[in-house]
Structure 1
């Protein structure tokens, strides 16, 4: 239900996007794109309101129920855009993490991916490392709109609003991500974990040492099952 508070939220996000886009046009010589501003502002405001609703439910009931307004299934990007989903699998005892970035197009095809296994001082730092891999992967698509998505709301807020890290252990990595993302315009998206199953699964495989090197072109059956669950085609066999 629309409320005055919701309306104000949309107005604030719209004004903020206008200002940010003005700066991009002035400093980065981008062409004005009013439609893109409106769409990105609406999406950011909607995600903020959904996250606020989720936080309220958690506080009131002490649970992690996801409201109906938050997508619980992966959905493809718009035509001529690339969506890169990220996730990390972190082990507290070893501080090792597996990170994954999966790129899919508007048809839903898995077209590229990047994984790594490395040390991370905290779960948020691990999530930031996964986003860093996504930014590097985005270099494969220099002329396309790229959406980078994570199920870490804290991380997405820090990057998209250029805020300091809430976890000092992750501060250095998040600063690196903010710097790398400043060299190109990205769209940032927070999604529920239920909509991020493919990236989560690949990150888990990497952390356990069970991810095959050719997982993009020939995904293991466990990953292929998730891709099919998303209602999308798996990658073509070659």
Structure 2
């Protein structure tokens, strides 16, 4: 949701650590940091990656932006370990932000992270939780998908919610309707980034690529990089 400001600050001058943050644009959300020009301190330029997404960004936009920047930079950096903070306050029902992802988008993100861990970090992946404030309808489902993905036991999105959990949760919050299954019914298929189009995320992608990619020997204008 918001910029990963604390993690970035902790490692801003350390060239051994690459921090990556995809977040709602700082002009529209606290703490006001996380612009593409924040690239790392002296001697660590290029080790802070910031993709500032416009409010309302959906699954497709988020995934389009992610795949346009993150895999190329990770391959260039060659990490020994991938550590991810998997907050779910990007969900469209979260009360604190203005992004519009779904549980299906979260599932696609986790699968992409697993693939990147396998291809860039020898399969070493430490997945952590994070923010998420729709505690009944979103957090349990999204983090169940996260755990299943980490364990290579991917869940069918149509899997019904456990009856016992539904009964207990409904008793605690009888006025909150619960989803029936592990999906929001969203189509997360996205077009790969190929340059700036009318899609709102494309300008954000190009700003980040232009600031960051030359520091890793990559061409910001070439979609193949």
Normalising by structure 2, report the TM-score.
Answer: 0.34
Kindly indicate whether structure 1 or structure 2 has the higher relative contact order, using CA contacts under 8 Å at least 6 residues apart.
2
Greater strand share, 1 or 2?
A: 1
